[in-house]
Amino acid sequence: MRKLMLAVAAISISSAISFPAFAADYKIGVSNTVQGNGWREQMICAMRAQALVEPDVSGLIVSHRNTDSAGQLEDLNNLIAAGVDAIVLNPSNPDALNSAIDNAISKGIVVVAVDAGVTAKGAYILSNNQEKYAYLGAKWLFEKLGGSGDVVYMRGIAGVSADTDRDNGFKRALAEFSGINVVHEVFTGWQQDQGKQQIFDFLATGIHFDGVWTSGIDNVIVDAFVESGAPLVPIVGADNAGFVQYLTAVDGLEGAAVTNPGSVGGAGIALAVDILNGNAPTETTVLVDPVLWENTTADGRAVIEAAQNPNLDPEWPVSVTVPGWTDYSMDQIIACKGPSS
């Protein structure tokens, strides 16, 4: 819907003179620093799928690897040298990339950060509301425990602004429940194997706890409980396909999934194209608000059952689109093919 009226008008004009409705021929660069994480993989596939359906985008250059801020700076500078018209990145740090972002903006390159923010002036940010994401899940968990108990707090990557925002949301909820105690806090690196081993290790200590809040590493946490034979406790995760399925399939599991679509990456591509076409939003930060699905009520279970999608990788969020932003089909995001693929 964001471009429907513009597209219809352009088609009606161009049909009389026989050239495409859009002929901007944009080349877009993508930079991401975490591989092997289902959320990030969906983000990349959403970027490719959205670029594929954008009439103005002719090429997509993707830098997608496990690296740090120094490596991402190198990737950004390479994209600038390649002459891209826009860069869409998931930043490793809010401040460390500013030199490259400033350089890009000075050359007229549109910069859109997705999932996490950057502090460089002139950059746009399109993100899931990470503070609210954490607050909703933590508040549900603390209320489920009756306002009193010990919880395990499983975070993402230290220093990444998405983790910092989620920490702020978690602590906002924590401040409302004086009877809740964080008995164990750990950074998972948003890696499934690492998170699973960390909960295995903590279960082995025998230290009592009453619930687990995870930063999107969730279905493997349930696996660890089941495989170890430990009694299940309430668990909060994201809307990843595997965890959403477990919320209706694992006996005795009480939990909640908070939506956090990796498809925000595709929305970032759409935003970059809008800006290039002179349709920039009035604010440089655009937030997508999450919702919580819990399996402890009939209405909540109905929502969860309707959201399940057996065609998705268990680590992919079931929220495969961002309404009002992305235009690709389910088949296109699963195929994960971009205009230069």
Q: Would you say residue 19 has pLDDT above 70?
A: no
Domains of the chain: 4-128+261-289+320-335 (3.40.50.2300), 130-258 (3.40.50.2300)
Predicted pLDDT of residue 1: 36
Reported confidence tier of residue 36, pLDDT bands at 50, 70, 90 = confident
pLDDT value for 2: 53
| Nearest-angstrom CA–CA distance, 179 and 174 | 9
- Contact status, residue 86 vs residue 110, Cβ threshold 8 Å: yes
Contact 123, 284 (CB under 8 A): yes
Residue 23: its pLDDT value, please?
A: 52
Per-residue pLDDT band for 133 (boundaries 50, 70, 90) equals very high
Is it the case that residue 10 has pLDDT exceeding 60? no
**Of 272, 279, 285, residue with least CA distance to 110:** 272
pLDDT at residue 101, as a whole number: 98
pLDDT in tens, 158-212: 988 899 999 999 999 999 999 999 999 999 999 999 999 999 999 999 999 999 9
Tell me the mean pLDDT in the region 213-240: 97
Report the pLDDT value the prediction gives residue 24, as an integer from 0 to 100.
75
Hey, what are 53's tokens?
A: 């359906």
The tens digit of pLDDT for each residue in 47-100 reads 999 999 999 999 999 999 999 999 999 999 999 999 999 999 999 999 999 999
Give percent above pLDDT 90 in the chain.
89
Partners of 255 in beta bridges? 235
CA distances to 1, 97, 130, 325, 339 from 4, in Å: 5, 35, 29, 11, 21
Quick: pLDDT tens for 214-226: 999 999 999 999 9
Residue 9 pLDDT exceeds 90: no
Neighbours of 9 (CB within 10 A): 11
pLDDT of residue 341: 58
Mean local confidence (pLDDT), 10-21: 31
Q: Is the pLDDT of residue 232 over 50?
A: yes
Q: What is the pLDDT of residues 319-328, one digit of tens each?
A: 999 999 999 9
Is the pLDDT at 11 greater than 90? The verdict is no
Given this model, what pLDDT does residue 217 score?
A: 93
> In the beta sheet, which residues pair with residue 285?
125
Average pLDDT over all residues of the chain:
92
Given this model, what pLDDT does residue 21 score? 44
Q: Mean pLDDT lowest for which of 114-118, 175-179, 251-255? A: 114-118
∠ at Cα 74 (160, 92), nearest 5°?
Answer: 5
